[in-house]
Structure 1
Amino acid sequence: MLRNLLCGAQNAVMELVRILESRGGVARRRTLLQLGFTAAELRKGVAAGIVRNPAQGVYAIPEADPQYLAAANRHGLLTCVSAASYYRLWRLHDHRELHLQLKPGVHHAGVVAHRTSRFRSAQTAPVAALADVLSDALRCLPEPEALVMVQSAVGRGEIAQEFLHRNLPGKRNAKARKVLALAYGRADSVLEVLARSHFIKAGIGFEQHVQIPGIGEVDFVLEGFLIVELDGATHFEARGVKRDRRRDNASVLRGNPVLRYFYDDVVHHPERMMSQIHGVLDRGRELGISRPRRR
């Protein structure tokens, strides 16, 4: 009987570890008790050194994600840019501050508190619902950062743009809705998202993902003649460089000038990029080859 009891206790501890692993490595005591574990089993897990008890009411495995652990310790949920990795959303920058959904009146040093919680999270890890994460980002982050996060979710069909719009009512969300309006269907990269937003705000007519005979698909055609290509990491491979140069030559022979931009241009120096684009478009208008088109 003693042997059976020992085996039962060991199995309970292993099950506790499995449950914690499925939740990003951390869970609160109340949740674990609701799942059927006893207080004695939790104590045994800690005594065995397999499970940690880093804060009152919090249990975690040693490999627990630090952000999940920080959220659980503060009775919060990761949201905004801090939840981007969980949902595999695009990000432009890392942030030192932790963005958490917290109850009103709760404050923690080094934490950006988000108070709105409109949707119940179905995630087992301490992460807010996707709709709340994106809404928080739209209200909190600079336009480019919020836009790329929203675009990655909208583009993959994980959330509807119209649904987010409906849940951002009133004057206080006007700025968020304006950023949301810049999102669209297909986007192959962060660079496309940002470049497209610059073209829209500049009032430039463009087509995107255009198939051109003898050249293939190009990223953008502005005002019917100027090709703009955005180069990611794969374009720097030897084969990619040769392919791109030959495509550029073919484009020029067709009468389409080509401008290429890199991550640094689009993300860090968009004003320089747009100045060059305006210069070519102005020249095209002077020569009568510009054909502004509706977006």
Structure 2
Amino acid sequence: MQRPLPIDQLVRASGGIAPRRQILDAGHTPKALAWNVGQGRLVRVRRAWYALPDAEPDRVNAVRLGGRLGSFSAAASYGIWRGLDRDLHVSWKPHGNVAKPGRVQFDFPASRDLPPGRSVISHWRVDGFAEGPDAWRESVPQTLAQILLSAEQTAAACSCDSALNRGLLDVFQLFELFERLPRRLRRLRLRLDGRADSGLETIVRLWLVSIGLDVRSQVMIGGRAVDLLVGTSLVIETDGREWHSDEERFNSDRIRTAQLQSLGYTVIKLSYVMIMFNWPLVEAVVRSALQSGRHLDAVR
């Protein structure tokens, strides 16, 4: 009979936190579990839950509060775009530990000890979605459902695009997701594009579409994809990286821009800071190019 993974390795493979039942089902005994706690290899989070001492704090706090990671917090654990949100989003069964979804305050260390500016945001689990493999966080469809029901539409679209781009769900699963949500949200489904490499790209694309422009994502030009192509000749690149910190990338970026310009394209580069904190400047730069007709130039 194959021996089970050591308990601490098992818990680490489960995301750093696991319920007692999972540990016992893997072949370990209550005595072995107690020994690991006594040796400091595990920490008892709450009744029937254990975590590694270095487990990610939001995961531990969500479980300590009696729920699991949901909405944007669960999204971040999957690598899905969450934008500027940094609150702790906790998911519960409807009418469970909290009276209603929203910003809540618990007289409990997991809530009191959050850094300044962070709050606990509660969410009720949406019916009709299968459980995910991890007991400490919601599944990807449940996570996106909670975001769609509670967040502003552009932010929700960014998360959906990100999940599609990372292959965490396909278009058929996305269709099923929207079918389980209120009809008022279904129009957003038509505005999603899983080709978007980042939420920055989605934000800019949705604005361009909203003002009536023809926009295509990840168009191949000269052997490489550009983030957004507006009309025939306006290329918009949304860059969340600090290019100046890497000389090789900096030079590669400048060469790529020069190549596009030599083919007749106008190139606008928008940084994370510009898009997230100086949107009026973004609009001014793009509208200036549009007003001069640079999106309609002939290209080679």
Give the TM-score normalised by the residue count of structure 2.
0.75
Equivalent of 1:15 in 6, 9, 28 = 6
> How many Å separate the matches in 2 of 1:127 and 1:24?
10
Equivalent of 1:290 in 281, 284, 296 = 296
| Matched letter for residue 120 of structure 1 | A
Equivalent of 1:223 in 231, 234, 243 = 231
Q: Which runs of 5+ in 2 are unaligned?
A: 99-103, 107-119
RMSD between aligned residues: 3.3
> How many Å separate the matches in 2 of 1:62 and 1:16?
13
Secondary structure at the residue paired with 2:76?
coil
Q: Which runs of 5+ in 1 are unaligned?
A: 1-10
2:159 matched residue in structure 1: 149
> How many Å separate the matches in 2 of 1:266 and 1:155?
20
| Matched letter for residue 52 of structure 2 | I
| Matched letter for residue 18 of structure 2 | A
Counterparts of residues 170-181 of structure 1 (less than 5 Å): 172-175=182-185, 177-181=186-190
> How many Å separate the matches in 1 of 2:202 and 2:193?
9
C-alpha distance 48-136 of structure 1, shift in aligned 2 (>3 A) = same
The answer (yes or no) to whether the contact 1:148–1:194 under 8 Å persists in 2 is yes
> How many Å separate the matches in 2 of 1:127 and 1:38?
25
Equivalent of 1:187 in 183, 189, 196 = 196
Counterparts of residues 74-223 of structure 1 (less than 5 Å): 74-107=65-98, 109=106, 110-169=120-179, 172-175=182-185, 177-212=186-221, 217-223=225-231
| Matched letter for residue 182 of structure 2 | R
CA drift of 1:183 comes to 2.0
Deviation string 1:200-255 (CA, Å, 9 cap, x unpaired) is: 11111133334445x96543332223332333426434454455455555555655
> How many Å separate the matches in 1 of 2:22 and 2:181?
38
CA drift of 1:128 comes to 1.2
> How many Å separate the matches in 2 of 1:104 and 1:138?
20
CA drift of 1:126 comes to 1.1
Secondary structure at the residue paired with 1:62?
coil
| Matched letter for residue 290 of structure 1 | L
1:8 matched residue in structure 2: none
The answer (yes or no) to whether the contact 1:51–1:62 under 8 Å persists in 2 is yes
C-alpha distance 220-116 of structure 1, shift in aligned 2 (>3 A) = closer
Deviation string 1:138-160 (CA, Å, 9 cap, x unpaired) is: 22222333222211221233212
> How many Å separate the matches in 2 of 1:106 and 1:80?
17
C-alpha distance 217-88 of structure 1, shift in aligned 2 (>3 A) = closer
> How many Å separate the matches in 2 of 1:171 and 1:253?
48
Give the TM-score normalised by the residue count of structure 1.
0.76
CA drift of 1:117 comes to 4.3
Q: Which has the larger radius of gyration?
A: 1
> How many Å separate the matches in 1 of 2:169 and 2:82?
17
> How many Å separate the matches in 2 of 1:225 and 1:129?
41
The answer (yes or no) to whether the contact 1:119–1:132 under 8 Å persists in 2 is yes
| Matched letter for residue 188 of structure 2 | V
C-alpha distance 255-60 of structure 1, shift in aligned 2 (>3 A) = closer
The answer (yes or no) to whether the contact 2:11–2:52 under 8 Å persists in 1 is yes
> How many Å separate the matches in 2 of 1:56 and 1:239?
52
Flag the structure with higher helix content.
1
Secondary structure at the residue paired with 1:84?
helix
C-alpha distance 153-40 of structure 1, shift in aligned 2 (>3 A) = same
Counterparts of residues 28-67 of structure 1 (less than 5 Å): 28-67=19-58
The answer (yes or no) to whether the contact 2:92–2:124 under 8 Å persists in 1 is yes
> How many Å separate the matches in 2 of 1:187 and 1:125?
30
Secondary structure at the residue paired with 2:15?
coil
